[in-house]
A = this chain, B = another copy of it.
Amino acid sequence: MDVFNVISKRQSYRGTFTDAMVSREDLIKIVQAGLDAPSGCNAQSTSFVIVDKPTLIASIAKLLGDRVVCKTAKAMIVCVCDKKPVYGKLSFYIEDCAAAVENMLIAIAALGYSTVWLDGVIRGDVGVEIGKLLNIPAELEVRVLLPIGVAQTQTAKPAKKSFDERARFA
């Protein structure tokens, strides 16, 4: 699938997923795209826990208030950050994780699935609880969760500013 086509068509999905499964083969392709992202000082600070057991998905969905996009997800990818500094006092773990997530969003769209980047809603206690469920060491931060499946009905894309409102030649 053409890269510019996928990038321009990708959009967030917060609705119900159909019963169609997400194969492990596809989950591995998606996470491989995440691993292929660059990271500051090549620290590779993001790691990935892939959830496809229905009972575990249900437990995580419950922590997220049973929102439909989680409850009906056929798989979830949990992104975990190692926050330690890598360049003087600087750490690039937020950037590293976001770049990996963006690659995975593109991979998910390319394979015909949908997802939404859940971040703010798992910050703090919810993330800590998800970490305990998945046996993630407490010193790492559970930062992003991607619920994955096939969209039941595609929703409209949110309005975006034009090129000229956000970009200019100097």
Contact = CB atoms under 8 A, between A and B. Distances in A.
**Most B-side CB within 10 Å, residue of A1, A24, A31, A167:** A167
Q: Please give the count of copies of this chain that the complex contains.
A: 2
A35 interface: yes
Nearest to A76: B170
A64 interface: no
Interface in A1-37: 1-4, 6-8, 10-12, 24, 27-29, 31-37
A50 B169 contact: yes
Contacts of A10: 36, 38
A105 B1 CA distance: 17
Interface string A104-124: 011100100000010110010
Given A4-B29, A44-B160, 20 more contacts: A2-B2, A3-B3, A4-B107, A40-B120, A47-B167, A48-B166, A48-B167, A48-B168, A49-B168, A49-B170, A50-B169, A50-B170, A94-B94, A95-B97, A95-B101, A98-B99, A98-B102, A99-B99, A102-B103, A134-B170
Interface of A: 1-4, 6-8, 10-12, 24, 27-29, 31-38, 40, 42, 44, 46-53, 56, 78, 87-88, 90, 92, 94-99, 101-103, 105-107, 110, 117, 119-120, 123, 134-135, 158, 160-161, 163, 166-170
